[in-house]
Amino acid sequence: MLGKFLQTFRTNSKNFSPHSLQFLMLISSSSFKRLNSLLLGALGDRGERKSNLSVMATSNEDDTATANDDDDDDDDQPFTPWAVSVASGHALLRSPQHNKGLAFTEKERDAHYLRGLLPPAIFTQELQEKRTLHILRQYQVPLHRYIAMMDLQETNEKLFYKLLIDNVEELLPVVYTPVVGEACQKYGSIFRRPQGLYISLKDKGKILEVLKNWPEKNIQVIVVTDGERILGLGDLGCQGMGIPVGKLSLYTALGGVRPSVCLPVTIDVGTKNKTLLNDEFYIGLKQERATGEEYDDLLDEFMCAVKKNYGEKVLIQFEDFANHNAFDLLIKYRTSHLVFNDDIQGTACVVLGGLLSALKLIGGTLADHTFLFLGAGEAGTGIAELISLEILKKTKLTLEDSRKKIWLVDSKGLVVSSRKDSLQHFKQPWAHDHEPVTGLLEAVKAIKPTILIGTSGVGKQFTKEVIEAMSSINAKPLIMALSNPTSQSECTAEEAYTWSNGHAIFASGSPFDPVIYDGKEFVPGQANNAYIFPGFGLGLIMCGAIRVHDEFLLAAAEALASQVTEEDYAKGIIYPRFKNIRKISANIAAKVASRAYEYGLASHLPRPSNLVKFAESCMYSPKYRNYR
């Protein structure tokens, strides 16, 4: 019957106008996909260029395509349209999701009216990658490399991700920290085309409508910022969009979450940055930052609209909110939404993973060590809380006793019980009995920590005297200078190794090159949140989690620590190499999903028998498809 219908359609297709065929593009039911492909193929046989219709049907690789590939939509996702594009010729080259540039074959160039629109050479994707990397390396200014990468993402999405995946150790600092910090500072100057969704105070009462303007309907991950605390750079307002865009690029490249289900969002409530307010080219609202009820109402409308539009299982990742809002939002919505704060929980996971790994070098258990933090904001207190939960889990100590092994220093000195009445609520659990101490060096001498962690956002705070004091107390002091970007790091790798006479175990938030000291090479570790959040998010998505439990965070940290090899330990490295990041992410996703199933918080049933292999099968592939 289908054959007869096709024969009739082919014979009479000249009577159909191009507009009358548009309905074929809208059919998403799997039972009609094959029919649509054959119908449009029949039309294509006529070679009617005037209709400007070109079918990009499913690839010859469909049988081996990954379960999470962009062109494969599940039957339980009816709002995602079938990936057939009403495009040909020049329009096809302007589609970043489908454009292959010089990799279009002779057959594809004829079939899709590309003849003459491209130079005659035909490149493989591998040759395109080699050429693009060669061009990137010619740029001497890191920001220029960032701009070039963003341009590539907007013109050839698959090549962008293949380049990033295959060269992750070289390009991660380009698309994210530290270069993304400068990109956000200059975002108004380098802004070319919107890469995410901008929601401002002007949209109050209409946020649901704004969400519906986004072209993709099946959103599974949202990264949202209000731009108030971008890295260690302060309030950058609307220009903070570089952070959600960068984070979601890593969700895809490192965690395999397909780009079409990712949504970057910036909530613009104004800015306190006078420089931006006086800049005629500033792209955001030119008004003082809203606070209080006005701010809370806008955020609440956004959270409700997201849940209504995308459902219960959409992951909302809060990014670079100021301390006072970050904690309040996490506490307020963690019981009603699937929320994750990367600055609080992601940083805590990656640091705990490094600490668990470092125990093989410094000895003992977590409970045997004393921790001193410089910085008592969302990152510092988040790390401290997760460390205490891990100690609680592995020992018979109470939570209160676990917390007593952790000390914090803020701008006023050591956080102690005599200051409790004046402390913000998130600092109060860490106010222990001790005499007041004003400076970091004095705190090191008084507390005698074995592990020093910097989350202050202020550079050069781990002075020579501080490192020397740590070295006099410990044979192998663990120094973690976590503040970003590089200019805000508490100390450099070279300073840590030199001032400790080569005895320190060092890790930082931003990357540092290996250091030669006394004829020996020291390779610093990077406590980069990119180790955690892509795999963590993939784990939540693939099991259909509905809430984030603290046990998921512990599982992610333990999974990260398990990926460090003996070869890494031999070089003093406490984090695995980024070149294996997709394997690392798959293992983290599997551990997170496993814990979700154990706690009854997973909705995708039955549970896969091998979660690691299932995670790998869900990962987005940047390999080009062959178009018929």
Residues involved in catalysis:
176, 247
**Is 343 annotated as a binding-site member?**
yes
For residues 546 and 549, what is the distance between their CA atoms, to the nearest angstrom? 10
Sorted by sequence, the CB contacts under 8 Å of residue 256 that are 6+ apart come out as: 66, 68, 534, 538, 582, 585, 586, 615, 616, 618, 619, 620
Alpha helices in 48-199 (DSSP H): 89-93, 106-111, 125-136, 142-155, 157-166, 168-175, 179-185, 187-190
- Binding residue per annotation — 385? no
- Name, in order, each residue with C-beta under 8 angstroms of 26's C-beta and a sequence gap of 6 or more: 81
Buried b (16+ CB within 10 A) or exposed e, 166-197: ebbebbbbbbbbbbbbbbbbbbbebeeeebbb
Contact 95, 85 (CB under 8 A): yes
- What values do phi and psi take at 292, rounded to 5? 65, -140
CB 359 within 8 A of CB 437: no
182 forms beta bridges with none
**Could you write out the DSSP letters of every residue in 19-36?**
GGGTHHHH---HHHHHHH
Residue 524 φ then ψ, to 5°: -70, 145
Q: What angle do CA 421, 424, 430 make, to 5 degrees?
A: 80
Q: Could you tell me which of 136, 111, 243 has the C-alpha nearest to residue 529?
A: 243
Asked if 9 contacts 36 with a C-beta cutoff of 8 angstroms, the reply is no
Q: State how far the Cα of 545 lies from the Cα of 536, in Å rounded to an integer.
A: 11
110 annotated among ligand-binding-site residues: no
**Residue 141 CB partners (closer than 8 Å, separation 6+):** none
Residue 434 DSSP SS3: coil
Amino acid identity at 207? I
Q: Are 322 and 290 in contact (CB under 8 A)?
A: no
Strands 371-374 and 451-454: parallel
Residue 495 tokens, joined = 């300073």
Task: Provide the residue type at 423 as one letter.
Answer: L
Contacts of 149 (CB under 8 A, 6+ apart): 136, 160, 163, 164, 171, 174, 175
Angle, alpha carbons 349-350-354 (nearest 5°) = 115
Nearest to 329 by CA among 294, 293, 300, 349: 300
Q: Which residues contribute to the annotated binding site for (S)-malate?
A: 229, 484, 528
Q: Which residues contribute to the annotated binding site for a divalent metal cation?
A: 319-320, 343
